[in-house]
């Protein structure tokens, strides 16, 4: 199938709102990922306004360490997003499979993470959900920050100059966000970067507990042990970032002046303004307009970063991996509350004979492990369930298979989604 100057090929993955297909540009042979979205479904679920807000957030960014979206075309029924093809997978998966990284390689990734997030901050964008699952790594070791679905802009600041929405992933959330008294978005992002650095260098979480209340107490106190086998420079960097007091926590400028950080540091240069013309003359929203039908050549173009913020609501986060992500995780939407969802999932999997652990905002159907290490004596199946809010009455349930029997995984997914979902993406095993 041809889509303008692109030729679409195999399906890379499927999500709640469409498919992602591998594509090549006909004139250059360059690889891309094309997300094909169902416009009617977006409108039916009434998430178009949320998508537009996310578009406004990400249209500001042009940086090599942020996943790029190059073009958007639309027909009467579909939206086609031409995305950068990132073939190395999530940082989380790399650490889970290979363990901690050598310090010099971990520092190189940290360099890029700080360059990318400091650029976002300079543009007035605060990510607010930084974690290894939202950091992609290509085959050349370059990282790409993704999933800006919880991000905020400076105009979201309150009269006190602070953000007030509590959001993020429990193990990576800054203590001042939990305190619910307002927080500096930049400093909370830095805290999350510090947790990611800890995970990169040790392959375990600095703050972890199955009891959510205990976990939050550890975060409030900055209660973690920094391994003595790390270099003195790495230990000091972690201590200065994982300072529970945001007023004394090291900031981006201080990180870049740190001696450990500066070793082999080559700053990433943002992209130039070659696409500025598109920003000055924006085209109509592809959600609202009626353009050519599906059988004609599609060529409507928006600035390269205008839709990358759709990652949260349109399930883009897993579609930048080399493998077919549908083999290890699915998502489906549901109108049930998170409390009801977790209780029902626990009931279903318990009846199937699995043990359940609840905490840290997730439900785990798995054998207890240390850090990211999967034991050789693993249970037949290990799955984690997590719930994300799209709107006050619509939630996304993600089921992620860590390892185990594919037949049981298919059966488990089918039972859960069949009982709870309003729309689902079946795993193809």
Which residues lie below 8 Å from residue 378, measured CB to CB, with a gap of 6+?
367, 403, 404
In terms of Cβ atoms closer than 10 Å to its own Cβ (0-12, 13-18, 19+), residue 327 is middle
Backbone angles phi, psi at 185, to 5 degrees: -60, -35
* Contact (Cβ atoms closer than 8 angstroms) between residue 35 and residue 319: yes
* Contact (Cβ atoms closer than 8 angstroms) between residue 185 and residue 171: no
Within a 13 Å sphere around the CA of 412, how many CA atoms are in the beta-carbon half? 32
Select which of 38, 44, 122, 129 is catalytic: 129
Tally of residues, the chain: 429
Question: Residue 217: which H helix or E strand, with range?
Answer: helix 212-221
d(CA 298, CA 72): 9
| CB count in 10 Å sphere of residue 138 | 16
Helices 185-202 and 103-122 meet at what angle, rounded to 10?
Answer: 170
35 is in an annotated binding site: yes
List Cα–Cα distances, 76 to 35, 46, 267, 292, in angstroms. Answer: 16, 18, 43, 7
* Contact (Cβ atoms closer than 8 angstroms) between residue 294 and residue 77: yes
Any long-range contacts for 362-371 (C-beta under 8 Å, 24+ apart)? 362/386, 365/412, 366/402, 370/204, 371/202, 371/203, 371/204, 371/205
129 catalytic, yes or no?
yes
- Two structure tokens written together for 150: 């919880």
| CB count in 10 Å sphere of residue 204 | 16
d(CA 294, CA 153): 35
Which residues lie below 8 Å from residue 372, measured CB to CB, with a gap of 6+?
95, 96, 99, 199, 203, 204
Using DSSP, state whether 398 is helix, strand or coil. strand
Q: Catalytic residues, which ones?
A: 129
Query: Which parts are annotated binding residues for ATP?
Result: 35
Query: Which parts are annotated binding residues?
Result: 35
């Amino acid at each position: 199938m041809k889509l303008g100057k692109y030729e679409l090929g195999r399906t890379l993955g499927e999500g709640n709102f469409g498919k992602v297909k591998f594509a090549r540009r006909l004139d250059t042979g360059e690889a891309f990922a094309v997300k094909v979205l169902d416009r009617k479904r977006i409108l039916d679920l009434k998430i178009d306004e949320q998508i537009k807000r996310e578009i406004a957030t990400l249209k500001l960014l042009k940086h090599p360490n942020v996943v790029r979206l190059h073009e958007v075309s639309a027909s009467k029924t579909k939206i086609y997003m031409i995305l950068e093809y990132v073939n190395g997978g999530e940082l989380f998966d790399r650490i889970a499979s290979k363990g901690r990284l050598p310090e010099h390689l971990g520092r190189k990734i940290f360099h890029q993470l700080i360059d990318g997030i400091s650029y976002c901050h300079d543009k007035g964008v605060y990510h607010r959900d930084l974690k290894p699952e939202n950091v992609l790594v290509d085959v050349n070791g370059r990282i790409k920050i993704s999933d800006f679905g919880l991000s905020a802009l400076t105009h979201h600041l309150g009269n006190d100059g602070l953000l007030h929405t509590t959001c993020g992933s429990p193990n990576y959330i800054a203590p001042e966000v939990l305190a619910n008294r307002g927080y500096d978005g930049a400093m909370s992002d830095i805290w999350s970067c510090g947790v990611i650095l800890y995970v990169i260098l040790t392959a375990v979480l600095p703050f972890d507990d199955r009891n959510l209340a205990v976990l939050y107490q550890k975060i409030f106190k900055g209660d973690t042990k920094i391994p003595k086998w790390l270099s003195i420079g790495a230990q000091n960097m972690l201590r200065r970032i994982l300072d529970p007091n945001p007023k004394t926590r090291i900031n981006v400028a201080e990180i870049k002046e740190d001696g450990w950080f500066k070793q082999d540091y080559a700053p990433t240069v943002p992209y130039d303004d070659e696409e500025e013309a598109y920003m000055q003359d924006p085209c109509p929203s592809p959600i609202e307009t009626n353009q050519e039908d599906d059988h004609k050549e599609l060529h409507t173009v928006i600035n390269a970063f205008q839709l990358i913020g759709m990652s949260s609501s349109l399930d883009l986060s897993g579609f930048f991996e080399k493998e077919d992500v549908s083999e290890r995780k699915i998502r489906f939407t549901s109108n049930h509350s998170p409390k009801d969802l977790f209780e029902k999932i626990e009931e279903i999997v318990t009846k199937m004979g699995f043990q359940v652990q609840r905490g840290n905002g997730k439900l785990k159907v798995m054998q207890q492990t240390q850090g990211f290490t999967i034991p050789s004596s693993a249970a037949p199946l290990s799955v984690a369930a997590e719930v994300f809010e799209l709107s006050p009455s619509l939630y996304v349930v993600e089921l992620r298979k860590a390892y185990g029997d594919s037949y049981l995984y298919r059966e488990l997914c089918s039972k859960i989604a069949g009982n709870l979902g309003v729309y689902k993406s079946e795993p193809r095993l």
